[in-house]
Amino acid sequence: MWAKLSLGYDGDMPDPLTSLLLVLALATGLGSAIFVAQNVETSQAEFYRYYLTHILLFNLLILAGLVYRFIQPQGTLSPALVPLALALMAALKLGWLYAFAVTSRLLVRPALRPGFTRTLSRAALVVLVSYVLLIGLAWFGSLKNLLQAAMIALEILVLGGAVLASAMVTVEARRVPKGRRKHSLVVFGAFHLVLLLVVVATMVFSWLRPGPQESTQTLVNSVFLLLFNLFPAFWVRRFQPTPGQTVSDRFNTLGITVREKQIVQLIQAGRTNQEIADELFISIATVKDHNNNLFRKCGVRNRVELANLFR
């Protein structure tokens, strides 16, 4: 679907039932975005902002690909505007990858490293500018092979980056103790990894067997988009904390022990590792071990981020 919708391959007009299913899938995406927005927890506002962007950009990308697919073969689009349309499509893809990468990173670690988003956005801008220059040169120079190579390279880059982001979440889940957080990471990472691999397989198939898109293939693609859009509402409802969740509930969600809870409370009170060791009658090495376990369970890097997470 990704390749056929975004690259603008000619295809057969889908039957009314398939078109209705596609409209339903897009409407489901809007509904999921509204549901997610209504279940935003203040402490996770940054995560949900990027997650909503990820959902909306993907649906916008599919919608833009459909529009391009149906108007380009009919000659409605001026040849001079084709590179502009491809550039817009590339911007949507890179924007979606950026939002998905940051979403995955925030899911693993609630606090982003300084400069992470800035570095990622600069890299996306460099890729976009390079792509625009290549397709402009290829289009106006009638270099069809260069145009196809640039488009395929962008597809591989975007899908490859998304697969890596999904794999990162799945791998990180193995290091998290059993509990709701572990299940949340596993389901999120595995779902997107499987769906993206299906997209990759579809894209490769379209390259090996180019030509008109059959109605049955469009039906499969619509089902794929419907599943993609149903997932956010299911995941937020089943695995994410509710807006009214207490700090005690969050301790239970992350699988934090009674001793670890005591250490978190002492860290919030401003105690040093040595003061915590003296107050709890344990060695400073044991305190440091508890700290490391807490950092891993909560997805944070230091005591400040840990204290802020439970404030």
Are 39 and 16 contacting, i.e. CB atoms less than 8 angstroms apart? no
What is the secondary structure of the chain as a DSSP string?
A: -HHHHHHT---PPPPHHHHHHHHHHHHHHHHHHHHHHHT--GGGHHHHHHHHHHHHHHHHHHHHHHHHHHHTTTT-S-GGGHHHHHHHHHHHHHHHHHHHHHHHHHHH-SSPPTTHHHHHHHHHHHHHHHHHHHHHHHHHTT-HHHHHHHHHHHHHHHHHHHHHHHHHHHHHHTTSPSSHHHHHHHHHHHHHHHHHHHHHHHHHHHHHS-SPPPHHHHHHHHHHHHHHHHHHHHHHHHHSPPTT--HHHHHHHTT--HHHHHHHHHHHTT--HHHHHHHHT--HHHHHHHHHHHHHHHT-SSHHHHHHHT-
If you search the block for the tokens 């180019």, which residue do you land on? 210
Least confident of 76-80, 123-127, 145-149, 181-185: 76-80
Q: Summarize the confidence of residues 261-278 as an average pLDDT.
A: 90
Give residue-wise pLDDT tens across range 212-230. Answer: 555 556 666 778 888 899 9
Q: Summarize the confidence of residues 255-267 as an average pLDDT.
A: 88
Query: Which listed CATH number (1.10.10.10, 3.30.43.10, 3.40.50.2000, 2.40.128.20) goes with 247-309?
Result: 1.10.10.10
What is the secondary structure of 180-226 as a DSSP string?
A: HHHHHHHHHHHHHHHHHHHHHHHHHHHHHS-SPPPHHHHHHHHHHHH
Q: Which of 92, 275, 100 is nearest to 196 (CA)?
A: 100
Task: Establish how many alpha carbons lie within 13 A of residue 145's alpha carbon, considering only the half-sphere containing its beta carbon.
Answer: 0
pLDDT in the model for residue 246: 58
pLDDT in the model for residue 13: 47
| Angle between the N-to-C axes of helices 144-173 and 116-140, in degrees from 0 to 180, rounded to the nearest 10 | 160
pLDDT in the model for residue 244: 44
pLDDT in the model for residue 213: 52
Q: Is the pLDDT of residue 73 over 60?
A: no
Tell me the pTM.
0.72
Q: Is the pLDDT of residue 152 over 70?
A: yes
Give residue-wise pLDDT tens across range 25-41. Answer: 888 988 888 888 887 76
pLDDT in the model for residue 7: 38
104 vs 15: CA distance, rounded Å: 37
pLDDT in the model for residue 129: 93
pLDDT in the model for residue 99: 94
Q: Is the pLDDT of residue 159 over 60?
A: yes
Choice between 7 and 38, residue whose per-residue pLDDT is larger: 38
Mean pLDDT of the chain, nearest integer:
80
Give residue-wise pLDDT tens across range 84-96. Answer: 888 999 999 999 9
Q: Which CATH class is domain 2-239?
A: mainly alpha
pLDDT in the model for residue 188: 93
Instruction: Give span(s): CATH 1.20.1070, the chain.
Output: 2-239
- High-pLDDT (> 70) share of the chain, %: 79
Q: Which of 171, 241, 218, 234 is nearest to 1 (CA)?
A: 218
> Residue 77: which pLDDT band, with cuts at 50, 70 and 90?
low
Instruction: Give span(s): CATH 1.10.10.10, the chain.
Output: 247-309
